[in-house]
């Protein structure tokens, strides 16, 4: 049986091109072109490396507007086999909860899944909720903050980068893995694969295809309510200078202010 | 059987026009572009002169993302303290057709979409490595080790033709055939632009070329300003030869000097630089045009050296489009005959010879010697500055005849009189 891998990707405005409106302090997203969320590029590469080693069938999915098509074709041009765009007006305004729920429903619809990859977090909202959310909705194991993962003899292994070291976890599929930004060096699309991908095209799923009640998705299904937003003025920090021989005094002060502890 | 009738490399105006023409006529076309989205690698801005686009997209004037229609065209000589200009405005210019200012990021994306809608397959974000050969026949392109086959390849890769060079079908570029263009897009409100440039409506635009006779160290460069809807394209072109002769002068230093000129600064005051880019410009004229076709391939646009600059206008997009269409027509004819040999594709050059593309290049042979001459960059600006100063100032001295003033002004120029006369003659002959 071939290993089934699903990669979840999100389109985000290119952070290098996002302009912050000097008056309202909001992001002017329209000015920036859309790119694949950087961590998701690494998630795709992680999936492709497993496919290179042991063979797999990879499906990439995204929930978003129709213009996500070119990003999906781009994924297929690197070696991903199939792509699904989950798109419906009803999904608009989703917060992280219905986003995860919708993606989980899509993955179930696809049939068998062994490994699900997600980026650690997006660059435009950066909650890091969606990956773990999907794992919870599907009831699978999960490994977050991973820099590397592999498949061997029926088990999925993932190397997690933690504050005090690294941890390798061994899991039985199905499992969900979130991948750190810059975990690997993503490969580029080739012309041959781009031609094949363009011919093959992507699949689309709507709310009706997923068979979810409309009140579970989009704005209606979102428990978060944004009450207000304001730009935060950067507080000028008061600096304090210490001479070299005063370092013990500095340490004392830092301990006193609970900035460090020994 | 080839996978495609035609593969087009590069989705600038030349490649996109070829692809649209071919796809609309039912050929199977693959258009490959390095930038994703198309246009992201191109220097935004410029004036699209004429109506070349009309023969591929008849309703382009209504649907293409144009900025402003050029109702005012200027040519200026700048010295350190002065600006001597022609500022031509005429309602007749609109009837005769001038051009539209465009932003390439928008235009190229639109063209690529047109190509896709006409049935071409567009592969963006992919760089072609080289042509693929079988014996001496081009059979497609090579990318990342794969060969994609087609009956004909149209190379539309722009001013830096690496594919053609890597494939051994053309010589390397030499310094004297290339110039560097640098450009900034400066944001300004639509209303400010319309007012500052005295335009009759927000739809109308101003385009001007500048001879920059005042740059530090006597560096010769040509400047330009084009008005877009809500921005100004400002930049300059400097020949590679000139760069090297001046110890690799930095182009961004020059652009600053241009922007700080007393009569340029007020035009861009309050504007914010939104984009900065640099790009090669072909300046070699007819002598730098390579072999344009061969077994299974044709070269179009900037990659073929098709551009025209005489210090008063800088044109390339119109030649790019016209040559793209000519190549598409020849490819279609070759398909009917099922003959993709050099002989069969030679009709491409015939088409160019009977159109403005090669005729302009032949008629203006050697013009680059004039455009980069001391006379243009120092002689004319200095002489006219002197002349107009004596004509337009009043210092209580008895007035002289215009002729005497002119002779005196020529005498005050640092350019030797003999050189002036030779260049004046050349200019009249070649311009
Ligand atoms: C308080 C709050 C309110 C919000 N309100 C709105 C709103 O009103 N309207 C609105 O449109 N958005 C809203 N958002 C944004 C929206 O919730 C998120 O963009 C989306 O749910 C994904 O969250 P994230 O970007 O934080 O993803 P993260 O959890 O940081 O992303 C991690 C990974 O999950 C995967 N992933 C995330 N999103 C998708 C997706 N769409 N498809 C496939 N994979 C995905 C990717 O692999 C990604 O790398 C809100 C967010 C918050 C925190
Ligand atoms: C500063 C400046 C100002 C100018 N102003 C004007 C003006 O006002 N009016 C005017 O008419 N002309 C102007 N020009 C000239 C004009 O830009 C060019 O003549 C015109 O763009 C040529 O079109 P093209 O399609 O041949 O090449 P390009 O527009 O350069 O397009 C070539 C395309 O090929 C792609 N490409 C290259 N190599 C590969 C590869 N290996 N694989 C895949 N894709 C590849 C590139 O990314 C690019 O998109 C100006 C040029 C400069 C630099």
Terminal Cα-to-Cα distance of chain A (whole angstroms): 54
Averaged pLDDT for residues B84-101: 88
User: Tokens at residue A105, please?
Assistant: 């429903």
Residues in A touching B32 (Cβ below 8 Å): 191
Instruction: Locate the DSSP E strands across A164-252.
Output: 165-171, 175-179, 203-205
A40, A63, A125, A180: which to mutate for ligand 1, most atoms within 8 A of CB?
Answer: A125
- For A118-175, what is each residue's pLDDT tens digit? 999 999 888 999 999 999 999 999 999 999 999 999 999 999 999 999 999 999 999 9
Highest mean pLDDT among A229-238, B284-293, B345-354, B396-405: B345-354
Interchain proximity B148–A70, CB inside 8 Å: no
- Alpha-carbon span A10 to A60, nearest angstrom: 10
Residue A46 lies in a domain: yes
Q: Which residues line ligand 1 (CB under 6 A)?
A: A 8-10, 37, 39-40, 43, 62-64, 93-96, 99, 103, 118-119, 121-122, 124-131, 224, 226
Q: Does A70 touch chain B (CB under 8 A)?
A: yes
Interchain proximity B30–A70, CB inside 8 Å: no
Interchain proximity B143–A190, CB inside 8 Å: yes
**Residue A42 has what pLDDT?**
98
Averaged pLDDT for residues B155-184: 90
Tokens 């011919």: give the residue. Answer: A199
Residues in B touching A194 (Cβ below 8 Å): 123, 125-126
Averaged pLDDT for residues B252-267: 94
Is ligand 2 within 6 A of the CB of residue B32? yes
What are the phi and psi torsion angles at B202 (to 5°)?
A: -65, -10
Is the confidence at residue B396, as pLDDT, over 80? no
Highest mean pLDDT among A67-71, B67-71, B94-98, B304-308: B67-71
Q: Does A198 touch chain B (CB under 8 A)?
A: yes
**Residue A23 has what pLDDT?**
57
User: Tokens at residue B154, please?
Assistant: 């149209």
- Alpha-carbon span B206 to B73, nearest angstrom: 6
Residue A211 lies in a domain: yes
Residue A246 lies in a domain: no
Interchain proximity A198–B123, CB inside 8 Å: yes
Q: Rounded to whole angstroms, what are the CA distances from A122 to A38, A41, A102, B134?
A: 8, 11, 17, 47
Contact A90, A37 (CB under 8 A): no
Tell how far the Cα of A90 is from the centroid of ligand 1, in angstroms: 15
Residues in A touching B40 (Cβ below 8 Å): 33
Tell how far the Cα of B184 is from the centroid of ligand 1, in angstroms: 35
- Minimum-distance ligand 1 atom for the alpha carbon of A224: 1
- Alpha-carbon span B295 to B169, nearest angstrom: 11
Is ligand 2 within 6 A of the CB of residue B10? yes
Residues ≥6 apart with Cβ < 8 Å to B4: B28, B29, B30, B121, B140, B148, B149, B150, B151
- Alpha-carbon span A176 to A160, nearest angstrom: 13
Instruction: Return the residue in B11, B115, B126 with the most chain A beta carbons within 10 A, the one to mutate for interface testing.
Output: B126
Pick from B3, B125, B128: which is nearest to A189 by CB?
B125
Of B192 and A219, the structure prediction assigns the larger pLDDT to: B192
Interchain proximity A191–B123, CB inside 8 Å: yes
Instruction: Locate the DSSP E strands across A64-185.
Output: 82-86, 115-119, 141-152, 155-162, 165-171, 175-179
Ligand nearest, relative to CA of residue A227: 1
- Alpha-carbon span B222 to B377, nearest angstrom: 9
Pick from A33, A188, A195: which is nearest to B148 by CB?
A195
Interchain proximity A195–B144, CB inside 8 Å: no
Residue nearest to atom 4 of ligand 1 (CA): A95
Interchain proximity A195–B125, CB inside 8 Å: no
Pick from B30, B37, B144: which is nearest to A190 by CB?
B144
Is the confidence at residue B186, as pLDDT, over 90? yes
Averaged pLDDT for residues B4-22: 98
Tell how far the Cα of A56 is from the centroid of ligand 1, in angstroms: 28
Coil, helix or strand for B347? Answer: helix
Contact A138, A196 (CB under 8 A): no
Tell me which residue of A103, A100, A74 sits closest to A86, measured CA to CA. Answer: A103
Sorted by where each starts, the structural domains of chain B and their CATH numbers stand as 4-67+102-171+290-365 (3.50.50.60), 176-282 (3.30.9.90), 373-430 (no CATH)
Interchain proximity B128–A191, CB inside 8 Å: yes
User: Tokens at residue B22, please?
Assistant: 């071919």
Q: Rounded to whole angstroms, what are the CA distances from A12 to A60, A66, B91, B140, B249?
A: 16, 14, 47, 35, 39
Averaged pLDDT for residues B297-301: 97
What total of structural domains would you count in chain A?
Answer: 1
Is the confidence at residue B161, as pLDDT, over 70? yes
Tell how far the Cα of B418 is from the centroid of ligand 1, in angstroms: 73
Residue nearest to atom 43 of ligand 1 (CA): A62
The CATH number that applies at residue A210 is 3.40.50.620
Residues ≥6 apart with Cβ < 8 Å to B171: B165, B290
- For B349-371, what is each residue's pLDDT tens digit? 999 999 988 888 888 777 777 77
Tokens 């690698």: give the residue. Answer: B41
**Ranges in chain A, pLDDT < 50:** none
Distance, C-alpha B291 to centroid of its chain: 21
Contact A142, A132 (CB under 8 A): yes
User: Tokens at residue A83, please?
Assistant: 């792509």
Terminal Cα-to-Cα distance of chain B (whole angstroms): 49
**Residues across chain A:** 262
- Alpha-carbon span B367 to B344, nearest angstrom: 33
Coil, helix or strand for B93? Answer: helix
Q: Which ipTM was obtained for this model?
A: 0.84
**Residue A106 has what pLDDT?**
97
In DSSP terms, B227 is beta-bridged to B232
Residue nearest to atom 10 of ligand 1 (CA): A93
Is ligand 2 within 6 A of the CB of residue B124? no
- For B103-139, what is each residue's pLDDT tens digit? 998 999 999 999 999 999 999 999 999 999 999 999 9
Residue A104 lies in a domain: yes
A72, A122, A181, A220: which to mutate for ligand 1, most atoms within 8 A of CB?
Answer: A122
Q: Quote the DSSP letter at residue A225.
A: -
Q: How many CB pairs under 8 A join A and B?
A: 37
**Residue A33 has what pLDDT?**
76
Instruction: Kindly identify which residue of chain B lies nearest to residue A198, measuring between CA atoms.
Output: B121
Instruction: Kindly identify which residue of chain A lies nearest to residue B32, measuring between CA atoms.
Output: A191
State how far residue B37 is from chain A, nearest Cα, in angstroms: 9
Of B150 and A233, the structure prediction assigns the larger pLDDT to: B150
Residue A238 lies in a domain: no
Residue A169 lies in a domain: yes
**Range of A127's domain?**
4-221
**Residue B174 has what pLDDT?**
82
Tell me which residue of B352, B357, B337, B343 sits closest to B296, measured CA to CA. Answer: B343
User: Tokens at residue A234, please?
Assistant: 């950067």
């Amino acid at each position: 049986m071939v290993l089934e891998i699903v990669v979840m990707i999100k389109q985000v405005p290119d952070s290098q091109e996002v302009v912050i409106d000097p008056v309202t302090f909001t992001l002017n997203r329209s000015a920036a072109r859309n790119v694949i969320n950087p961590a998701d590029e690494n998630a795709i590469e992680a999936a492709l490396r497993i496919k290179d080693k042991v063979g797999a069938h990879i499906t990439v999915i995204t929930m978003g507007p129709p213009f996500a098509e070119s990003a999906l074709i781009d994924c297929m041009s690197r070696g991903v086999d199939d792509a699904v765009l989950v798109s419906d007006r009803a999904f608009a305004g989703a917060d992280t909860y219905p986003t995860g729920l919708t993606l989980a429903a899509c993955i179930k619809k696809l049939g068998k899944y062994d490994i699900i990859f997600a980026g650690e977090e997006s660059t435009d909202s950066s909650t890091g909720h969606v990956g773990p959310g999907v794992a919870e909705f599907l009831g699978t194991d999960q490994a977050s903050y991973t820099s590397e993962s592999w498949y061997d003899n029926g088990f999925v292994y993932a190397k997690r980068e933690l504050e005090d070291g690294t941890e390798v976890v061994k899991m039985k599929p199905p499992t969900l893995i979130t991948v750190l930004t810059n975990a690997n060096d993503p490969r580029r699309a080739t012309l041959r694969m781009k031609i094949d991908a363009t011919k093959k095209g992507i699949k689309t799923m709507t709310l009706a295809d997923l068979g979810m009640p409309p009140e579970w998705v989009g704005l209606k299904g979102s428990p978060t309510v944004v009450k207000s937003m304001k730009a935060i003025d950067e507080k000028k920090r008061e600096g304090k200078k210490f001479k070299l021989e005063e370092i013990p005094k500095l340490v004392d002060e830092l301990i006193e202010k609970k900035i460090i502890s020994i | 059987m080839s996978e495609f009738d035609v593969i087009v490399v590069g989705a600038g105006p030349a490649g996109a026009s070829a692809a649209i023409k071919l796809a609309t006529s039912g050929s199977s076309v693959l258009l490959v572009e390095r930038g994703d989205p198309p246009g992201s690698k191109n220097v935004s801005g410029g004036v699209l002169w004429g109506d070349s686009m009309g023969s591929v997209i008849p309703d382009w004037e209504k649907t293409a993302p144009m900025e402003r229609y050029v109702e005012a065209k200027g040519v200026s000589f700048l010295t350190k303290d002065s600006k001597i200009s022609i500022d031509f405005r005429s309602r007749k210019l609109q009837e005769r057709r001038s051009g539209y200012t465009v932003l390439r990021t928008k235009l190229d994306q639109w063209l690529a979409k047109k190509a896709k809608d006409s049935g071409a397959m567009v592969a963006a974000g992919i760089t072609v490595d080289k042509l693929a050969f079988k014996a001496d026949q081009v059979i497609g392109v090579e990318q990342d080790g794969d060969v994609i086959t087609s009956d004909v390849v149209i190379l539309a890769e722009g001013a830096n033709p690496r594919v053609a060079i890597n494939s051994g079908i053309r010589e390397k570029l030499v310094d004297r055939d290339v110039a560097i263009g640098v450009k900034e897009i400066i944001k300004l409100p639509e209303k400010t632009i319309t007012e500052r440039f005295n335009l009759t409506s927000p739809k109308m635009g101003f385009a001007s070329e500048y001879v920059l006779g005042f740059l530090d160290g006597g560096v010769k460069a040509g400047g330009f300003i084009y008005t877009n809807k809500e921005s100004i394209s400002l930049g300059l072109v400097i020949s590679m030869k000139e760069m090297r002769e001046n110890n690799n002068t930095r182009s961004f230093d020059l652009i600053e000097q241009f922007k700080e000129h007393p009569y340029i600064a007020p035009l861009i005051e309050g504007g914010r630089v939104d984009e900065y880019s640099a790009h090669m410009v072909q300046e070699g004229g007819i002598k730098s045009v390579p072999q344009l076709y061969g077994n299974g391939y044709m070269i179009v646009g900037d990659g073929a050296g098709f551009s025209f600059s005489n210090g008063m206008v800088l044109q390339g997009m119109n030649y790019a489009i016209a040559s793209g269409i000519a190549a598409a027509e020849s490819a279609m004819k070759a398909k009917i005959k099922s003959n993709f040999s050099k002989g069969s594709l030679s009709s491409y050059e015939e088409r160019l010879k009977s159109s403005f593309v090669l005729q302009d290049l032949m008629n203006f042979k050697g013009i680059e010697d004039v455009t980069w001459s001391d006379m243009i960059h120092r002689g004319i600006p200095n002489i006219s500055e002197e002349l107009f100063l004596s004509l337009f100032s009043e210092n209580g001295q008895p007035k002289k005849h215009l002729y005497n003033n002119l002779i005196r002004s020529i005498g005050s120029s640092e350019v030797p009189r003999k050189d002036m006369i030779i260049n004046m003659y050349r200019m009249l002959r070649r311009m």
